[in-house]
Amino acid sequence: MMRAVILAAPSVDALDNPALSALLGLIVITLIMTLGVMFATWYERKAVARMQQRLGPMRVGPWGLLQPIADTLKLVSKEGVRPASADRIAWDLSLAAIFVPAFLVLVAIPFTADWFVSPMDLSLLYILAVGGLSFIGFLLAGWGSDNKYALLGGMRAAAQLISYEIPMILSMLAVVMVVGSADVYRIILYQDVVPLIVWQPLAFIIFLTATIAELERQPFDIPTGESEVAGGVFIEYSGIRWSLFQLTGYVNMYAYSLLGAFVFLGGWEWPFGTDIGWGYQLLLTMVKMALFIVFFLWVRTSFPRLRVDQLMSYAWKVLLPFALAQIFLNGLVLVYDLPDVVLLATSGGGALALCWLVYSVVRVKPRQPLRMVGNVPATAPGSVSG
């Protein structure tokens, strides 16, 4: 049933009116995503608690499974406070500016071989373009809150999102060059034998890093850094508005994880092919998406936050040159029609070089270890002058 609704693709002809079917599809996907986000909050809390050797939510429902429902009820029923001096238009508009693009991205994502809201030839471009709009919302929220922390957070968010957009798009461009299409569907189909992570490891690493930055998750949570700007742009938002921001964050996490699963891990295609049925395909997609999410959580619990200058220099001085190099190498391979193994070799070499560079830059100056002083002259203090 649900399948019939979501499958609004023209080829399926579930509904005659494409506009109506797209609208229905959007509504359904919004609802499903909201539920998925509720589960994600529960899972995140549980998984992070595991990594930190504690239990996480346990009280509400079995294993705390009903915790997100309680949280949602609480958040929705909370009073929404708006500062008296806030810029009302910017304050409210920011919500839409962040919330809407996150869900619009989902329109172009093919969950299985024939499960998507709207097919398009340039779906990858669409996803990146619409997904990149959210920084406007952060700026609006930062300005509209009339709070210096929010302003700092908004500025940081704008700088960070724009900076990391570039290496991410370039890494995607490298993949598009290999596949020869900017349609996510075609990219998935291309990976029927070997997923693209094998041919493009460097692009994958760049994508993964830039994704964490785009999602503003640790260690790139500089715009919302709790210990510095105390929530950043969200500092003045409360109740339902705040929960919408959180919802958006998780929807983005799903969207980018799905994108990574489709573009680099083969989505529902690899390794079983297209013919296994939509159920298995969906399961496969979810598993690959979960890999990304677990990775994000793992990173979250293990790394401190970068500083803003380190963040910027990492994007512009490290990721961007490597992304450009990847494109250049792919171009060479394509122009001279070299075998695919060369792709692996060049990209893999680039990935290793990237890792080595990051490692060595941090340890650029070997530091002396602590001196251990065992015998301080233990002269009795007192009147004995030197």
Where along the sequence are the contacts to other proteins (CB under 8 A)? 48, 51-54, 148-149, 152, 218-219, 221-222, 225-230, 300-310, 358-359, 362-363, 367-368, 370-386
- Nearer to other proteins by Cβ, of 339 and 366: the residue is 366
| DSSP reduced 3-state for 134 | helix
- Nearer to other proteins by Cβ, of 151 and 184: the residue is 151
Least distance between other proteins and beta carbon 232 (Å) = 12
- Nearer to other proteins by Cβ, of 62 and 381: the residue is 381
- Nearer to other proteins by Cβ, of 115 and 296: the residue is 296
Distance of CA 363 to the CA centre of its chain: 28
Least distance between other proteins and beta carbon 15 (Å) = 44
Nearest CA to 329 out of 125, 174, 143 is that of: 174
Distance of CA 60 to the CA centre of its chain: 29
| Cβ atoms of 306 and 220 closer than 8 Å | yes
Least distance between other proteins and beta carbon 199 (Å) = 28
Q: Which residue is it, tokens 């990594």?
A: 51
Strands (E), 241-329: none
Least distance between other proteins and beta carbon 155 (Å) = 8
Per-residue buried b or exposed e for 227-250, using 16+ beta carbons within 10 Å of the residue's own CB: ebbebbbbbbbeebbbbbbbbbbb
- Nearer to other proteins by Cβ, of 60 and 159: the residue is 159
| Cβ atoms of 216 and 226 closer than 8 Å | no
- Residue 169 neighbours by CB distance under 10 Å: 19
| DSSP reduced 3-state for 115 | strand
- Nearer to other proteins by Cβ, of 65 and 308: the residue is 308
Least distance between other proteins and beta carbon 226 (Å) = 5
Taken in order 358, 49, 208, 196, the sign of the CA dihedral is positive
Least distance between other proteins and beta carbon 374 (Å) = 5
